[in-house]
Structure 1
Amino acid sequence: MNPSLISKAAGPARVLAQNAPRIQCLRKGAQLHTAAWHVGSRDRPSLRKGTRSPSAKRSFHATNAVQSKDPYGALGVSKTASAGEIKKAYYGLAKKYHPDTNKDPQAKDKFADIQSAYEILSDPKKREQFDQFGAAGFDPSGGGAPGGGGGFGGGHPFSGFGGFGGQGGFGGFGGQGGFGAGVNFEDIFSAFTGQQGFGRRGRQQAYQQEILVGDNIEVQATISFMEAAKGTSKTISITPLSTCGTCKGNGLKTGTSRSACSACDGSGTRVHFMQGGFQMASTCGTCDGTGTVIPKGSECKPCSGNGVVRERKTITVDIPAGIEDGMRLRVDGAGDAAATGRAAEPNARSQNGDLYVFVRVAKDPKFRRDGSNILYTANIPLTTALLGGHAEIPTLDGTVNVKVATGTNTGDKITLPGMGMKRLGSRRGGNGDLRVEYRVSMPKYLSANQRTIVEVLADEMGDKTAKRVMGVGSSRDPNDPESHKDEGFLKSLWHTLTNNPAHQKMNEDGSQNDGSKKPDDNDKK
């Protein structure tokens, strides 16, 4: 599998699982062992629904207004009844025929008629319109001059004119065959906007579909610094939810089938009566909106009707070179399978969740990291710093010799280009640099000879502030030959090697006084 780095801030994309799982890098940190945890709801089996539709799914929606031929007759009031009498009659009948309390099969239709009648008579404008045009002004099947369609509830700028293809109250322009009978301006408008008009009910978009997505799984993996530099593979054990092999995910025992939900009569919604003459529909909690349930005793035993079972799997994850501590890898489709049993619609589409591997990079005793660059501190002896030389520098590919300039100080830096980490997500590609910082090692203890040499060096450099304990230094004039008498061997050797004039003069005087005299003329005679 080929790894690729994605944005740190970007969330995981939800795509259909492919044959070969892809790995992508994201930021955030972790550490691998055998433990794995699941992201999502705590209860098992879990279900997350993802609707692939441009329009969002609403938890509540208003039901279609059911038209009534005679709203006065539906409420049992006269045409001269007051608003208070109409409201009182409506509340009494709505309570009597509400589907949640009245199990009569005709109660639902009766309640719809009562609701529609109250919607007309409770609105003074709609009531006046009904009194003027009659039931045809609010009947979708009505035609002719007064009204081409369903009253004033269309909600579309063009729906008030039936002749333009709407279902408004003014059908004289051809609601059912008048002027412009074959033109629907709402369809034209929706073609440009991609919407279903302005509140028109009953149409469903053909491309709307719902896909059940399983939960993601998260694990942690720890790798060494060199593994992060070179890339590696890790074998990870997880226990995801997998599709049940017995029922193939439908949650049913062999030879059984689903039945309609008794709580919502198979509609998937529950109707609730609300104050003010409105009814609202919400998703049925028994069937989770599917309209069907698995009857008791018909559940698949291995998965208990959920359609998924937990299985242990081993997955090999390729970790790319250059990965940083805190990044995470995503393996598409390696997470939990979606529960397509009792909590899902029959033959529902589904896809697995993803596996996220949080990567932690262990610290290295030699190297430190700054993005794609590697930092290394090289200790060099004092003499190498003073005299110059070379130093051995470790790299990701072995050891290299680097020249040390004369007079190198602690804190001096050099850069070895292209010897760092691989750059992830960079257009330039390649590797970072290895940045070396020198640190001069100062000896804490000196032997007698070492101290003597250093004190001699201090004398030669004119350092009068350095401490001297070996007695090789002198407060007398160094150009005075007497100051070079009885000096130590090392200092005498140093002065000889450096051709010190006073030291040479002292040697000449000493050789003249060693008892060997040149014969004079008298001796020759």
Structure 2
Amino acid sequence: MADRTPHGDFYGALGVPRTASTDEIQRAYRKLARQYHPDVNSDPGAEERFKEVGAAYQVLSDPDQRRRYDRFGADFRHVPDDVDERAHADGRTRYTSAGRGVGGFEDIEDLFSGLFRGRGGGASIPGADQQAELELTVEEAYRGGHKHLTLRGSGQRDYDVTIPPGVMDGQRIRLAGQGGTGSGNAAAGDLYLIVRVKPHRRYRLSGRDLHIDLPVSPWEAALGATVPVDTPGGEVKVRVAPGASSGRRLRLRGEGMPDPRGKPGDLYAEVRVMVPKRLRKRERELFEELAAVSEFDPRGT
């Protein structure tokens, strides 16, 4: 991805100082990404701004890339990994490359003139890495599988993405060689897809744990019952103990998000006692009878 930020100023693109912490950079990115995402912002410049923010975050969220950017500026990607930076007494900064000895590059201008000197004056520069967001439902993140993705920018590109089961919000999926095109004979960069798990009407994610509401009837709560629970992996049964009130949490071990490298999360079902909005005649009679004989006081101590 080419540097889309003004003068390659990644810190300015995110609105953070150069001393910003990793958490500050992440918060700034998420705020701006939501603000300028083309799906929610129809402003003509929103998509370009979204790409600028993404390019800046890609660099500043990676400690190695950030360190090189701070040292070499916007052209840091063109500086070989083995370049050594040294300050000399005359105030000039010298750069040397492994294998060149003391007589290496004298300054940054010499360095870049060497990099771009090739056959016919052409340059062989690796393609830049790019990034985009990949939105998934909780069920898609849980199951994994394959998803078709279309990215629109300077041109439309289609991808078939393999999603690992249990992928988490913020996790990156790497598509090798699908980033920016290199010049000369250099390889293309990689495309990194940042997973964004969409809010769900039933499931609430907390790490790998899932939280849901479990509606039960007054008699199920009072007498106890075995009730079905829908999970991303399918329906399971849970035992509600007698006397369960709203707010009681039931833990279903291992029914949360899977983890390819360890044990899965848990699912927590929170009891919600529900009452009928309309009572039939017989139901009303039974509730009235219960009210007359019961000594239960929900407001008592």
Per-residue deviation, 1:54 = 4.5
Identity of aligned residues (%): 26
Q: What does residue 385 of structure 1 align with?
A: 221
The alpha-carbon deviation at position 445 of structure 1 amounts to 4.1
Q: Which segments of 5 or more consecutive residues in structure 1 lack a partner in the other structure? A: 1-8, 11-26, 41-45, 64-193, 241-309, 341-348, 466-525
1:202 paired residue among 79, 82, 103: 103
Matched, 1:50 2:79: yes
Q: How does 1:206-355 map to 2 (within 5 A)?
A: 212-237=125-150, 314-340=158-184, 350-355=186-191
Q: Residue by residue, what CA displacement relative to the aligned partner does 1:377-430 show, whole Å, maximum 9, x if unpaired?
A: 111011111122221111223222222221111111111111110126x5xx13
Distance of 1:464 and 1:431 partners within structure 2: 41
**CA shift for structure 1 position 320:** 1.6
Tell whether the 8 Å contact from 1:458 to 1:464 is kept in structure 2 after alignment: no
Query: Residues 456 and 202 (structure 1 numbering): CA distance in 2 closer, same or farther, change over 3 Å?
Result: closer
TM-score under structure 1 normalisation?
0.35
> Structure 2, unaligned stretches of length 5 or more?
1-21, 24-28, 40-46, 57-73, 106-110, 116-123
Judge conservation of contact 1:50–1:213 (CA < 8 Å) in 2: no
- Residues 138 and 232 in structure 2, CA contact (< 8 A), matched pair in contact too: no
Q: Distance in 1 between matches of 2:226 and 2:207?
A: 28
C-alpha distance in 2 between matches for 1:351 and 1:364? 40
Contact in 2 for aligned 1:32/1:221 (Cα 8 Å) = no
Match in the other structure for 1:288:
none
The residue identity in structure 2 corresponding to 1:452 is E
The amino acid that maps onto 1:430 is K
What displacement does 1:52 show? 2.6
Residue matched to 2:258: 422
- Structure 2 counterpart of 1:53, which letter? D
2:70 is aligned to: none
Q: Counterpart in 2 of 1:398? A: 234
- Alpha-carbon distance between aligned partners in 1 of 2:249 and 2:267, rounded to the nearest angstrom: 11
Q: Which residue of the partner structure matches residue 455 of structure 1? A: 288
Report the Cα distance in structure 2 between the residues aligned to 1:354 and 1:430, rounded to whole angstroms: 30
Deviation digits for residues 43-88 of structure 1, max 9, x if unmatched?
xxx9741213241388x9599xxxxxxxxxxxxxxxxxxxxxxxxx
Secondary structure of 1:318's counterpart equals strand
SS across alignment from 1:406: coil
Deviation at 1:462, TM superposition (A): 4.0
Give CA deviations for 1:306-343 in whole Å, capped at 9, x if unaligned: xxxx9865433222221223333232332112334xxx
- 2:268 maps to 435
* Residue correspondences, number: 218
User: 1:32·1:222 contact (CA, 8 Å) conserved in 2?
Assistant: no
Secondary structure at the aligned position of 2:265 is classed as coil
Give 1:268's aligned residue: none
Give 3-state SS (helix, strand or coil) of 1:335's partner. Answer: coil
Candidates 190, 193, 211, aligned match of 1:375? 211
Question: Relative to 1, partners in 2 of residues 1:56 and 1:315: Cα closer, same or farther, differing over 3 Å?
Answer: farther
Contact 1:389 1:405 in 2 (8 A): yes
Deviation, 1:448, is 4.4
Q: CA RMSD in A?
A: 4.2
Q: Is it true that 1:363 corresponds to 2:199 in the alignment?
A: yes
Higher RCO, 1 vs 2 (CA within 8 Å, ≥6 residues apart): 1
1:112-156 Cα distance to aligned partner (Å, 9 max, x none): xxxxxxxxxxxxxxxxxxxxxxxxxxxxxxxxxxxxxxxxxxxxx
Inter-CA distance 336–195: structure 2 relative to 1 (3 Å threshold)? closer
Letter of the structure 2 residue corresponding to residue 329 of structure 1: I
Helix, strand or coil for the counterpart of 1:394?
A: strand
Computing the radius of gyration from Cα coordinates, the structure with the larger value is 1
Alignment partners' CA distance in 1, 2:133 and 2:167: 14
Closer, same or farther: CA 216–405 of 1 in aligned 2, 3 Å: same
Answer whether contact 2:143 2:233 (CA < 8 A) is retained. Answer: no
Q: When the two structures are superposed, what TM-score results if normalisation uses the length of structure 2?
A: 0.58
Structure with greater helix percent: 2
State the AA in 1 paired with 2:130. Answer: I
Once residues 62 and 436 of structure 1 are traced to their aligned partners in structure 2, the CA distance between those partners, rounded to angstroms, is 62
